[in-house]
Amino acid sequence: MSPGEFSRRTAWSREPSELAALLEGAKQRGEKLIDLSQSNPTRVGLVDEGVLAKLRDPEGAHYAPLPRGLLAARESVVRYHARRGHSLSVEHVFLTASTSESYGWLFKLLCDPGEVVIVPKPSYPLFPFLAQLDGVSLEHARLMRHDGWRLDMEAIERRLVAAGPAVRAIVLVNPSNPCGAYVHRDDAAKLISLAADRQIALIVDEVFSDYPHAELSASSRLSFAGEDGALCFVMNGLSKVALLPQLKLAWIACSGPEVRRDEALSRLEIIADSYLSVGTPVQLALPSILDPVDSKQTGLRRRMAQNLDAIDAAIKQVGPSCPVRRMPTEGGWYAMMEVPRTRSDDEWIAHLLATERLVVHPGHFFDVEEQGVMVVSLILEAEVFAEAIGRAVRCWSRG
Ligand SMILES: Cc1ncc(COP(=O)(O)O)c(C=O)c1O
């Protein structure tokens, strides 16, 4: 099999990472691990078997596809955003199979091969794959720790006027993963004005936007839905909103100045028509899933608040000299922990696995540049989480 048969886009290294190899070894030895990096809701007791009944509409046996998705389904997306104070038109909503697919469609819509999309760093580890699959070049805008995490706006402005391949879009993750910061209102205003002036798009990933924590500051912008100052694509989906990643349904809400928005919609319609990727049963079920979704989220929000408290309690229990800190977070499913730099991050991961049977993610998994940062998922069952984080904090404190 000659490598020449295949595209350069898919020439990925398939060597398992050191962490993956360690985990595989532990699993093969039958060790019982607690996975503090788990972000699959169906693996942390958040299984909703009742949803299966909603997929049984007899209409689902028929096929009458619409590129944007079935009207009643899109109307329920509009109602979801209306409950959050944003008025959208049903014609501006497209259903997709996942947020990953939404990224793919938007990269195809906006970029020729080699053109640039700016993404935040640290951030979502899938970006390099999604970009490469569409021949898009990624450049990074750093999220910097000041009071909370703020985008390096000066670097973004410098890049937009610099020579080099054209920048076609800026991706915002609102709130960011794993930093947990909503886009600051001042930065949002600046980004909208830059995007409008330079005719670039904002792609705003809001999959975690329904999960603010108590620490949310007044200067944070909760959503870009319906923003019409610049061409904006707000993305969300059932994976996080309804804790149903297995159903594979997400959406893009497009807004912006009328002429550019309508051109985007017409082109996006042809992309959507080429794939028609969302199954009919899940589209038919969408209103019955999304309409009551707000109350469904309450339990997880309470669980995450308990888990944040459990981290703080574990640190307090070690005492005032505890070298472990929890970084402030405004929202989302993760907490970032600062741990002593007595070991490298990968050594910490191996040590925690060997001595405590705990799995956490190292910061570099999310492109965090500094050492001494660990990321834990907040969606685990509260009892399991409290026990595990207590052990992790004590282990990190021993150095
Ligand atoms: C920032 C971010 N966007 C999107 C996704 C994935 O969403 P989907 O399951 O709809 O592809 C994730 C998954 O963890 C994520 O962290």
pLDDT at 214: 77
**Residues 226, 302 within the same domain:** no
177 CB less than 6 Å from ligand 1?
A: yes
pLDDT tens digits, 336-361: 999 999 999 999 999 999 999 999 99
pLDDT at residue number 226 = 97
Average pLDDT, the chain: 95
pLDDT, tens digit (0-9, with 9 covering 90-100), for 142-161: 999 977 899 999 999 999 99
Q: Is residue 26 located within the same domain as residue 66? A: no
Determine the pLDDT at residue 260: 97
Q: What's the 100 CA to ligand 1 centre distance in angstroms?
A: 7
Three-class SS of residue 235? Answer: strand
- 302 and 287 in one domain? no
My answer on whether 26 and 166 are in the same domain is no
6 within domain boundaries: no
Structure confidence at residue 222 (pLDDT):
87
Q: Which residues, other chains included, contact 20 with Cβ-Cβ below 8 Å and sequence gap of 6+?
A: none
Contact 51, 285 (CB under 8 A): yes
Residue 331 pairs in a beta bridge with 212
- Say if 3 falls within a structural domain: no
Confidence band of 365 (pLDDT split at 50, 70, 90): very high
Q: Which residue has the tokens 């928005």?
A: 261
Atom of ligand 1 nearest to the CA of 239: 9
Domain with residue 20: its CATH number is 3.90.1150.10
Q: Please tell me if the CB atom of residue 173 comes closer than 6 angstroms to any atom of ligand 1.
A: yes
Instruction: List, for residues 156-210, the tens digit of each pLDDT value.
Output: 999 999 988 999 999 999 999 999 999 999 999 999 999 999 999 999 999 999 9
Q: Convert the pLDDT of each residue in 206-248 to its tens digit.
A: 999 999 997 677 788 889 999 999 999 999 999 999 999 999 9
| 321-328 mean pLDDT | 96
Tell me the pLDDT band of 2, cut-offs 50, 70 and 90.
low
| Residue 149 counted as domain residue | yes
> In angstroms, rounded to a whole number, what is the distance separating the alpha carbons of residues 172 and 261?
19
Residue 9 lies in a domain: no
Ligand 1 pocket check for 178: Cβ under 6 Å: no
Binding site membership of 239 for ligand 1 (Cβ less than 6 Å): yes
> What's the confidence (pLDDT) of residue 217?
76
CATH number at 159 reads: 3.40.640.10
Give the Cβ contact number of residue 74 at 10 Å. Answer: 25
Q: What per-residue confidence (pLDDT) applies to 146?
A: 79
Ligand 1, pocket-test mutation among 240, 244, 251, 333, most atoms within 8 A of CB: 240
Do 62 and 24 fall into the same domain? no
Q: DSSP letters of 377-393?
A: ES-S-HHHHHHHHHHHH
Domain stops at, among 291, 310, 332: 291
Same domain membership, residue 91 and residue 213: yes
Do residues 256 and 386 share a domain? no
Last residue of one domain, picked from the residues 291, 311, 337:
291
Top mutation candidate among 179, 205, 239, 282 for ligand 1, by most atoms within 8 Å of CB: 239
Residue 94 Cα to ligand 1 middle (Å): 17
Residue 72 confidence (pLDDT) above 90: yes
Query: Do residue 216 and residue 230 come from a single domain?
Result: yes
- Which residue range forms the structural domain that includes residue 362? 15-44+295-398
Q: Assess whether 135 and 121 both reside in one domain.
A: yes
End position of a domain, from candidates 291, 319, 336: 291
Q: pLDDT tens, 87-139?
A: 999 999 999 999 999 999 999 999 999 999 999 999 999 999 999 999 999 99
Mean pLDDT of 313-327: 97
Number of domains in the chain: 2
**Residue 1 binned pLDDT confidence (cut-offs 50, 70, 90):** low
In this structure, the answer to whether residues 272 and 323 fall within a common structural domain is no
Mark whether 37 and 73 lie in a shared domain. no
Q: Is residue 84 part of a domain?
A: yes
Cβ atoms 304, 319 nearer than 8 A: no
Confidence grade of residue 383 (pLDDT, cut at 50, 70, 90): very high
Length in residues, the chain: 399
What was the pLDDT predicted at 173? 98
CA torsion through residues 61, 63, 64, 70, sign = positive
Residue 10 covered by a domain: no
Tokens coding 382: 């509260």
Full-model pTM: 0.97
Mean of pLDDT values over 29-57: 96
Q: Are residues 166 and 313 in the same domain?
A: no
Q: Could you tell me if residue 180 is inside a domain?
A: yes
Residue 231 lies in a domain: yes
- What are the residues whose beta carbons fall under 8 Å from the beta carbon of 336, sequence distance 6 or more? 178, 179, 180, 326, 327, 329, 363, 368, 373, 374, 375
